[in-house]
């Protein structure tokens, strides 16, 4: 992460599974994408509503992380960069298997960021892709194709 930052790369860390991170490491993270359980591990804040998600995101930003996206499963996601906050509800899908949904979210987030889309558009796209990925069994086989995203 440090080398990536030194070379001008945007960094995304999905801390799954959650594990200890040294304090100086936080400064190298542009996008931190924990789910609510992982966010609780890093902040000590149990997330059951929007306000608790905001408190956890604020705490993570105060550690030096630039942007926090806490994925909330069927409740959606909460984004904060310390100034702008966005809450998105989860895509309305009939979930069958959530295996790989975090990978789908992070991969599609990176894809959208590469396209230099506004952050809300990136979050909406990643949210849709992750939702669609839960409608099939498995991980790799459940990943949607670009034409599946409407």
Residues ≥6 apart with Cβ < 8 Å to 141 = none
Contact (Cβ atoms closer than 8 angstroms) between residue 36 and residue 57? no
Same domain? For 57 and 7 the reply is: yes
| pLDDT for residue 132 | 84
Same domain? For 120 and 83 the reply is: no
With tokens 């996601």, the residue in question is: 77
Same domain? For 10 and 63 the reply is: yes
Cα–Cα distance list, 97 to 45, 72, 93, 100 (Å):
27, 16, 11, 9
Choose the catalytic residue: 103, 121, 141, 148.
Answer: 103
| pLDDT for residue 136 | 82
Same domain? For 77 and 44 the reply is: yes
Same domain? For 49 and 28 the reply is: yes
Which of 74, 90, 106 is at the close of a domain?
A: 90
| pLDDT for residue 137 | 78
Contact (Cβ atoms closer than 8 angstroms) between residue 31 and residue 62? no
- CA-CA distance, 101 to 44, in Å (whole number)? 24
Same domain? For 82 and 107 the reply is: no
Which pLDDT tens digit goes with each residue over 96-111?
778 788 899 999 999 9
| pLDDT for residue 97 | 78
- Catalytic annotation on 97? no
Same domain? For 82 and 114 the reply is: no
| pLDDT for residue 111 | 94
Domain tally for the chain? 2
**Peptide bond just before 17 cis, omega within 30 deg:** yes
| pLDDT for residue 18 | 92
Residue ranges making up the domain that contains 5: 1-90
Same domain? For 44 and 117 the reply is: no
| pLDDT for residue 15 | 94
pLDDT, averaged per 10 consecutive residues of the chain (150 residues), comes to: 92 94 91 96 95 97 96 93 95 81 92 95 94 81 74
């Amino acid at each position: 992460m440090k080398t990536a930052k030194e070379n001008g790369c945007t960094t995304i860390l999905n801390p799954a599974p959650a594990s200890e991170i040294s304090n100086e490491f936080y400064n190298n993270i542009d996008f931190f994408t924990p789910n609510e359980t992982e966010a609780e591990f890093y902040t000590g804040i149990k997330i059951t509503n929007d306000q608790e998600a905001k408190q956890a995101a604020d705490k993570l930003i105060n550690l030096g992380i630039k942007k926090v996206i806490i994925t909330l499963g069927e409740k959606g996601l909460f984004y904060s960069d310390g100034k702008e906050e966005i809450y998105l509800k989860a895509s309305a899908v009939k979930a069958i298997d959530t295996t790989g949904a975090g990978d789908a979210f992070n991969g599609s987030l990176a894809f959208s960021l590469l396209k230099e889309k506004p952050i809300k558009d990136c979050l909406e796209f990643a949210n849709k892709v992750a939702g669609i990925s839960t409608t099939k069994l498995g991980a790799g086989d459940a990943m949607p194709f670009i034409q599946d995203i409407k």
